[in-house]
Amino acid sequence: MEKLPWVRTVQGDVPAASLGHTQCHEHIYLRKGPSYDVNPALCMDDFSRSLQELSDYRAAGGGAIVDAQPGDFGRDAAVLQALSARSGVAIVAVTGFHKLCFLEPQSSLPTLTVPALTARFIGEITQGMTSPDGRLLPARAGMVKAALTEGGLEDPAYRPLWEAAARTAVATGAPLMVHTDPGSDPLGLMTFLTARGVAPERVLLCHLDRTVPDTATHLALLRQGAYLCYDTIHRLKYHSDAEELSRIAGICRAGFSHRLVLSLDTTNERLRAYRAADMGLNYLLTDFLPMLRRAGVEHGQIRAMCRSNAAHLLSFRISPSAGEQENQT
C-alpha cells in the first residue's frame, strides 16, 4: 500500500508520525456569530483562554487537534495559526461546510455552483484559507468538513455542497469529516461518496456515539472501512462516561480499534478556561484514558485510537503541483 506520510496543518505540512496524541474533532476557537445565536455554548472567541486550553493539552501529552469549524461558519484561520505557534499543538483546519443554521449571513456559499464550490474548497487546501475579512492566508486546510442533516443528500440546500465536498476529497486526497445529526443516514451517505470515488478509508463519521443508537450501523460502516469518531466523552447530557467506555470497549472487542478515534467536540461549557468546572481539552489524557485502561482496553488499542489511526486518516498525498516536497516512489 502507498505510504501517506504528510499531514497538512495550519503551520505547514508535517510528517504524520510527528503528531502524537491527536483529537480529530474539536472546537478550540469559534467566532461569535450564528452558531452563538443557535447555542451560546458554541462560541470560543477569547485568544488567551483558547491558548490556555491548548497549553494544558500540550502539557498533558497532547500533540495535535483538528478544529472542526469551516470557513464562513465561525473559523478564524489566522487565529488558529497563532494558537498553534504559541502552544506547540499542531492544528489541522477544515474547509467545506457545516449546518446552514451556522452560516454567516454575508457568505456567498449558497449562491455558488458545484464547480465554484469545489474550486473554493480545493483552493483552501492547496492555496490557502480565507480569513473572515476576506484575506487569503498562507495557512491551508488539511481536511474537508461536511454536515449530514436529517434531510441528508436530498435537501436541495445541501446537495451542491455535498457534491463539492466529495469532488474536493477525490481531487486532493484530503480526508473528509462528517458531522452527523440524529435521524441522518450515514450508510446512504457512504453509498453516495463511494459512487463518486471517495474511498471509505478517507471518511471520518463523527458523533455516531450520540446520534446513531444502533450499534449494527456502526459495525456496518466500520466493515466498509470508514473511520468513526466517538466524541461524546464526558458529555453527560447524552450519557455517562461508563456508557461511553462500554461502547468503545465493544468496538475494540469487535476488532475495529484500528478504525476508531476519540475526541471531545468541545464547547465553551466543556472547556475549563471558559466555563467548565470539571474538564478541559486535556480530559481524555488526564481522566478518560486511565478509565479505558482500567476497563481492560489494551495499551495497543488505546495507542491506535489516539495516535496511529489519526495519523493514517489525516495524512494524504500532497500534490506536487502545490509546491510541496513530494517523494513518490
To Zn ion, the closest distance from the beta carbon of 68 in angstroms equals: 5
Our finding on whether 209 is near Zn ion (CB under 5 A) is no
Grid coordinates representing 36 are 452563538
4/228 with CB nearer Zn ion: 228
Burial 123-151 (b: 16+ CB within 10 A, else e): bbbbebbbbbeeeebebbbbbbbbbbbee
Our finding on whether 43 is near Zn ion (CB under 5 A) is no
Residue nearest to Zn ion (CB): 265
The closest of 43, 30, 41 to 72, measured between CA atoms, is: 30
28/68 with CB nearer Zn ion: 68
68/273 with CB nearer Zn ion: 68
9/23 with CB nearer Zn ion: 23
Our finding on whether 148 is near Zn ion (CB under 5 A) is no
To Zn ion, the closest distance from the beta carbon of 27 in angstroms equals: 6
Binding mask 261-280 for Zn ion (x = CB under 5 A): ----x---------------
69/118 with CB nearer Zn ion: 69
For residue 226, CA distances in Å to 123, 190, 216, 257, 320 come to 25, 9, 14, 12, 27
Grid coordinates representing 311 are 495519523
56/265 with CB nearer Zn ion: 265
Our finding on whether 229 is near Zn ion (CB under 5 A) is no
Burial 249-278 (b: 16+ CB within 10 A, else e): bebbeeebbebbbbbbbbbbbbbbbbebee
76/265 with CB nearer Zn ion: 265
How far the first Cα of the chain sits from its last, in Å, is 11
Our finding on whether 103 is near Zn ion (CB under 5 A) is no
To Zn ion, the closest distance from the beta carbon of 206 in angstroms equals: 7
Binding mask 3-32 for Zn ion (x = CB under 5 A): ------------------------------
| Alpha-carbon span 231 to 235, nearest angstrom | 9
To Zn ion, the closest distance from the beta carbon of 263 in angstroms equals: 9
Grid coordinates representing 56 are 494544558
DSSP bridge pairs for 228? 205, 260
Question: Do 10 and 80 contact (CB within 8 A), yes or no?
Answer: yes
Our finding on whether 281 is near Zn ion (CB under 5 A) is no
Q: How many CA atoms lie within 13 A of 45 on its CB side?
A: 13
Q: Which stretch binds Zn ion (CB under 5 A): 94-102, 260-268, 293-301, 308-316?
A: 260-268
Binding mask 64-93 for Zn ion (x = CB under 5 A): ----x-------------------------
6/227 with CB nearer Zn ion: 227
Q: Which residues contact 188 (CB under 8 A, 6 or more apart)?
A: 152, 153
Grid coordinates representing 162 are 455535498
| Alpha-carbon span 283 to 264, nearest angstrom | 8
To Zn ion, the closest distance from the beta carbon of 158 in angstroms equals: 17
To Zn ion, the closest distance from the beta carbon of 270 in angstroms equals: 11
**Residue ranges that bind Zn ion, judged by CB under 5 A:** 68, 265
